[in-house]
Structure 1
Amino acid sequence: MSHDHHHGHSHEHHHTNNKKALLLSFSLITLFMIVEVIGGFLTNSLALLSDAGHMLSDSFALGLSLFAFKLSEKEANQQNTFGYKRFEIFAALINGVALIAISIYIFYEAFQRFFDPPNVNATMLWIAIIGFLINVVVAFILMSGGDTKENLNMRSALLHVMGDLLGSVGAIIAGLLIMFFDWNIADPIASIVVALLILFSGLRITRDSFHILMEGTPHNLSYQDIENSLVQLDGVIAIHDLHIWMITSDFPSFTCHVVVEEKVDRDQLIKEASKLLKDRFSIQHTTIQIEGIHANIKASENHCN
């Protein structure tokens, strides 16, 4: 039996950068969210209020993501042998569900306004422009300072911000149409377009989070490719009980049983298998159990009986 676990400096470097990016983004979003909520009520704009509501969810989402990273730093113990890293996925799941709920609420409010379009103060345009600039800055901070490609928790936070950025764009377009054409119905139309984009983002994050929580095979790894690569190693007869899952979005874990020829150097084979998994598939947390062909046949017969 072999355990090979290398999850070191690179992960910690990403972890620290993610926390810094989230803290700065959380501060900026929360500050402007307060301004936009006040502006939305003063101008009577649903597009602005929906954008402010999404910013409120952004503030919560970024704060939750930041808390998840902080909690994941706790050491593993006898009750939680992998530590608290998976809380990052729970945070991403909550963020995904929140995005879906926000989009449904915006749909409802926009539907009401189609039948009775209110007068909207064009001042919303200037508040929306400021919101757009804030969201551009926050999106840049998250993409340049954090790991938004591999880390699902960071990606869910970024999608909240991108949805908010699109909300600001919608509010700007609605503001221009109201200012120049007195077309108040542009406000609920812009809200519906933004709600659709938010809904798709929420569904995607929720789906990916659920896949990890169900310990599904990572999307970037092929079960068949890994099995075929291992069985081609010298001395390997067969592979069985192969499992690949994610502890958290950037922490894949792997176990399998390898049936080998009797005369094979088992220690050397374990080193070769671990190196193959690390170099070709970026899997560093591995558990490989070696079995002789005769022991495997006997175990199979006992199982059948």
Structure 2
Amino acid sequence: MHDHAPVPGGIRGAGNRRLLAISLGITVTIMVVQVVGAILSGSLALLADAAHMFTDSSALVIALIASAVAARPADDRRTFGYQRAEVFGALINAIILIVLMAVVAVQGVQRLIEPGEVEVAGPLMLVVAVIGMLANAISMWLLSAAQKTSINVRGAYLEVMGDLIGSAMVIIAAVVIVTTGWMPADAIASLLIAVMILPRALSLLREVFSVLSESAPKGMAVSEIRTHLKMYDGVVDVHDVHIWQLTRGAPVFTAHVRVDPQLLVDGRTADLLQDLQGCLADHFDVDHSTFQLEPAGHEECEARHS
């Protein structure tokens, strides 16, 4: 029997999509400012941060498309709906981050090996970087709540956070150039931005693969759930337990429950199912659960799974 309560929607809500759209507008605007500033100042670090902004813009577009797809209702063919679109969008985001890391790293090394006669306009670089940092802080604030329940919004949030840190690095490099005239600070900041990208990309990839491999959600122990369910009167054993998630914040649970035959005779199965589903919802935040009740001594199902 299923609990048909709606599953928390990640970025399915219009409010979250609106936040993504606002963040996209801010990101694109600052990206253009950074590109112009990089061209006028000759700063590679500023250009790298603008490239990161471009990647974030693409990621936010992907997130918006995925959110629109994920909001489509379930049908007879896709009975869980389209929430996995969020996961695939996050996978694309992670790949984009890794490609960006490689491009920025190559450019930074080339600038250090062959510095040439490039003169970086430190003051202009500093002004543009400060503007970028303020804009990123606003975007992070807008996405901070939604990223806790959506893997795709979290991907966008992590990228904006990376931009914020990248802008801080550019500011430091600009201050060094303005105060000392040491131009390699610009290339070093570019390399630091590239190094910063890798852990975020790997973290997002790990979460995506965890969902796609149908692993149990982080922090959710099957043994603990089984112990809770066995505490209810009439429950003899709980086996064939499976728990996975469609996307962040949307866990699904199935289990076979062996019960005292007298419970079936007394017609108390509906009450037991309600208790078991309430246990999952209240203690483990699992709103979609499926239970198969079996009388104790019924070994046929167990033999098929041994």
TM over 0.5: yes
1:89-168 matches, cutoff 5 A: 89-117=87-115, 118-122=118-122, 123-143=124-144, 146-168=145-167
Counterpart of 1:180 in structure 2 is: 179
1:164-243 matches, cutoff 5 A: 164-243=163-242
Q: Cα gap change, 1:138/1:300 in structure 2, threshold over 3 Å: closer, same or farther?
A: closer
Distance (Å, rounded) in 1 between the aligned partners of 2:184 and 2:32: 26
Is the deviation greater in 44-53 or in 106-115? 106-115
Matched, 1:287 2:290: yes
Distance (Å, rounded) in 2 between the aligned partners of 1:62 and 1:231: 45
Distance (Å, rounded) in 2 between the aligned partners of 1:239 and 1:30: 52
The alignment's TM-score, normalised by the length of structure 2, stands at 0.92
Contact residue 14 and residue 147 of structure 1 kept, 8 A:
no
Backbone CA RMSD of aligned residues: 1.8
Of 44, 58, 79, which aligns to 1:60?
58
Shift of 1:301: 5.1
Amino acid at match of 2:220: L
Contact residue 229 and residue 276 of structure 2 kept, 8 A:
yes
Distance (Å, rounded) in 1 between the aligned partners of 2:230 and 2:135: 53
Shift of 1:14: 7.4
**Matched residue pairs, number?**
299
Counterpart of 1:31 in structure 2 is: 29
1:6-43 Cα distance to aligned partner (Å, 9 max, x none)? 126x6489723211111111111112212211221222
Counterpart of 2:68 in structure 1 is: 70
Q: Cα gap change, 1:303/1:192 in structure 2, threshold over 3 Å: closer, same or farther?
A: closer
Aligned-residue sequence identity (percent) comes to 36
**Structure 1 runs (4+) greater than 6 angstroms displaced:** none
Matched, 1:49 2:28: no
Distance (Å, rounded) in 2 between the aligned partners of 1:89 and 1:267: 35
Amino acid at match of 2:141: F
Of 251, 265, 269, which aligns to 1:266?
269
Distance (Å, rounded) in 2 between the aligned partners of 1:121 and 1:216: 51
Q: Cα gap change, 1:194/1:303 in structure 2, threshold over 3 Å: closer, same or farther?
A: closer
Distance (Å, rounded) in 1 between the aligned partners of 2:171 and 2:81: 45
Q: Cα gap change, 1:76/1:301 in structure 2, threshold over 3 Å: closer, same or farther?
A: closer
1:33-72 Cα distance to aligned partner (Å, 9 max, x none)? 1221122122221100110000001111111111111111
3-state SS of paired residue (1:79): coil
1:264-300 Cα distance to aligned partner (Å, 9 max, x none)? 12222111100100100010100100011232x2444
Contact residue 126 and residue 170 of structure 2 kept, 8 A:
yes
Amino acid at match of 1:150: T
Q: Cα gap change, 1:12/1:162 in structure 2, threshold over 3 Å: closer, same or farther?
A: closer
Contact residue 251 and residue 287 of structure 2 kept, 8 A:
yes
The alignment's TM-score, normalised by the length of structure 1, stands at 0.93
3-state SS of paired residue (1:291): strand
Amino acid at match of 1:154: V
3-state SS of paired residue (2:254): strand
